[in-house]
Chains A and B, each alone.
Chain A
Amino acid sequence: MIKEFEHKQFAHCESGVVSTLLSAYGLKISEPMAFGITSTLSFVYLPIVKLNGLPLIAYRELPKNIIKKISQALGIKIKTETFKDPFKANDRLTQLVQEENKLVGLQTSVFYLPYMPEDMRFHFNAHNLLVYGKEGTKYKISDPVFEEVVQCNEGKLSIARFAKGAFAPKGFLYYPQDVPSNLDLSKAIKKAIIKNAKSMTTPFPFAGLKGMQKVANKIKSLEKMTSEKDKKYIKLFLTHIVRMQEEIGTGGGGFRFLYAAFLQESKQYDLNNDILDKASSLITQSGDTLREFALLCVKASRTNNKIDFDSIANKLLEARDFEKEAYALLKKI
């Protein structure tokens, strides 16, 4: 199976890895399907959790959500293992890819992967990749956000697998065990869509649509900050929003496009296609608006002139309104 491994590039690491893994084991699941069927679309703003001194903003569920929920959603088994000892973790990985000829998913830190471009190396501990073989001391790696396959020395990979800090991977690895090749997805899809629509419309003020409102309020409140030190913070805060949106494994409000693609693909499964079409279009518009929002954030942080915080915040609210309409529809699917 692994001998014919074919690398593909994806928009987002975790959904990409899960899609390739399951497809290689006989269950063809696209990246948008892996993302959508696990209800991974999200929006979270947690000002008390700081990353490099800036608040956590997430555009999707926590890392590992897809790996954990896909087995539940599809009734398949994914074996997961964590380790205390890096050497044991390395031996186990070697055993799996060399002796058992398996394709194995890994959680790693971006910072310690030697093939990562220098500018992309930050302490983000939840980057997923696939190992499809080993030659000497080098692992053959399919990193879903890269164009081509890459290689990584086992010592270096061990460091990346045992990085510490938030979302520390602890050598986390995973591979499917029981995978039926034919499954009726329609029930699982319907359930996942309703669940996601509900989670996005939660009354909890820091998540979903309400979370978007909170960030918009925060942006508006930046108006009052005027000292030199504040100006620097504003610049970092605005680009931080963009980096959280763009960089952690995705592109340009990319998670919205991924979800819109999922809704469109769901039309094959005997659901209300009118709703799916409309919602898919609305989420696409939200994604596009979020990109305009990102552009405004970057422009504002580049300028020395007065920043129009209201118009930036309103752009975010515009995206929220598209999504609000979409979730109201999707709840009725």
Chain B
Amino acid sequence: MKKINIPQEENSTLNGQQKVMYAPNDNGEFEKFNYGSDVEEYATKLAVEEYEILMEESLKNIKNNISSPIEYFMYKNRMDLPTLTSIVGMFGFRVKRHLRADIYKKLNDKILNKYAIAFQIELEELKGFKYDKRV
């Protein structure tokens, strides 16, 4: 059995934990080993950063009256449109419209509350959202 390399690098995304993998030991028998991989770390961080970029863009769009706070909270909660749609239980095209600033302003509390629940925040936090006051 060919020996394989068990990575022992830092992976800061795991908060000090290590994961385990199976690999052949010196006798060629499989065993569990702790490992840390900076390849995994990079891939995770990039995905996290992508949401942060989307949040930044969303803030700009809210300031310019293009996007609604729902979009910001969607990215803050690392959701995409299908995920949010499924959580609030509305049709996708409706949710998509609610991401627009002009449509958002006309929404009643009943609908807004569905979003507040989806984002696990108070209704007031959603309604009182200001683009320069990060929640």
Q: Footprint of B on A, CB under 8 Å?
A: 9-11, 32, 50-53, 111, 117-123, 145-147, 159, 164-166, 168, 235-236, 239-240, 242-243, 246-247, 250-252, 254, 257-258, 260-261, 264-265, 280-281, 284-285, 287-288, 291, 294-295, 298, 301-302
Let me know if B17 is at the binding interface, CB within 8 A: yes
Per the CB 8 Å criterion, the residue count for chain B at the interface is 42
- Measured in the bound complex, the distance between the Cα atoms of B50 and A235 in whole Å is 11
**Candidates B2, B20, B35; contact of A281 at CB < 8 Å:** B2
Known: A119-B48, A246-B43, A288-B2. A260 touches B22 (CB 8 A): yes
Tell me whether B78 and A111 are in contact (CB under 8 A).
yes
Let me know if B107 is at the binding interface, CB within 8 A: no
Stretch at the interface among B79-87, B92-100, B122-130: B79-87
- Measured in the bound complex, the distance between the Cα atoms of B89 and A252 in whole Å is 36
Known: A11-B22, A165-B83, A288-B4. A243 touches B43 (CB 8 A): yes
**Nearest CB of A to B10, in Å:** 13
The 5 lowest CB-CB distance pairs between A and B, nearest first, are: A261-B30, A119-B13, A117-B15, A242-B43, A251-B21
Known: A119-B48, A235-B46, A246-B40. A9 touches B30 (CB 8 A): no
Tell me whether A251 and B37 are in contact (CB under 8 A).
yes
- Measured in the bound complex, the distance between the Cα atoms of B23 and A260 in whole Å is 9
- Chain B residue at minimum C-beta to C-beta distance from A285: B2
**Nearest CB of A to B62, in Å:** 21
**Nearest CB of B to A21, in Å:** 18
Which residues B1-44 have CB closer than 8 A to chain A?
Answer: 1-2, 4-5, 7, 12-15, 17-24, 29-30, 32, 35, 37, 39-40, 42-44
Known: A122-B78, A242-B43, A247-B43. A9 touches B83 (CB 8 A): no
Tell me whether A11 and B20 are in contact (CB under 8 A).
yes
Chain B residues lying within 8 Å of A168, measured Cβ to Cβ, are 86
**Nearest CB of B to A204, in Å:** 25
Let me know if B45 is at the binding interface, CB within 8 A: yes
Chain B residues lying within 8 Å of A50, measured Cβ to Cβ, are 82
Tell me whether A123 and B46 are in contact (CB under 8 A).
no
Known: A52-B80, A164-B86, A165-B87. A120 touches B14 (CB 8 A): yes
**Nearest CB of A to B5, in Å:** 8
Let me know if B47 is at the binding interface, CB within 8 A: yes
Tell me whether A298 and B39 are in contact (CB under 8 A).
yes
Chain A residues lying within 8 Å of B50, measured Cβ to Cβ, are 236
- Measured in the bound complex, the distance between the Cα atoms of B55 and A175 in whole Å is 41
**Candidates B18, B32, B44; contact of A119 at CB < 8 Å:** B44
Chain B residues lying within 8 Å of A258, measured Cβ to Cβ, are 22
Tell me whether B79 and A239 are in contact (CB under 8 A).
no
Q: Please, what's the 1-or-0 string for B90-111, where 1 marks a CB less than 8 Å from any CB in chain A?
A: 0000000000000000000000
- Measured in the bound complex, the distance between the Cα atoms of B46 and A260 in whole Å is 30
**Nearest CB of A to B58, in Å:** 15
Tell me whether A251 and B20 are in contact (CB under 8 A).
yes
- Residue from B29, B42, B78 having most chain A Cβ neighbours under 10 A: B42
Tell me whether B21 and A264 are in contact (CB under 8 A).
no
Known: A243-B47, A265-B30. A147 touches B4 (CB 8 A): no
Chain B residues lying within 8 Å of A32, measured Cβ to Cβ, are 22, 30
Known: A32-B30, A123-B83, A264-B29. A298 touches B43 (CB 8 A): yes
- Measured in the bound complex, the distance between the Cα atoms of B14 and A164 in whole Å is 25
- Measured in the bound complex, the distance between the Cα atoms of B6 and A288 in whole Å is 10
Tell me whether B23 and A257 are in contact (CB under 8 A).
yes
Chain B residues lying within 8 Å of A243, measured Cβ to Cβ, are 43-44, 47
Chain A residues lying within 8 Å of B77, measured Cβ to Cβ, are 111
**Nearest CB of A to B88, in Å:** 9
**Nearest CB of B to A60, in Å:** 14
- Chain A residue at minimum C-beta to C-beta distance from B50: A236
- Measured in the bound complex, the distance between the Cα atoms of B7 and A298 in whole Å is 15
- Chain B residue at minimum C-beta to C-beta distance from A280: B1
Tell me whether B87 and A11 are in contact (CB under 8 A).
no
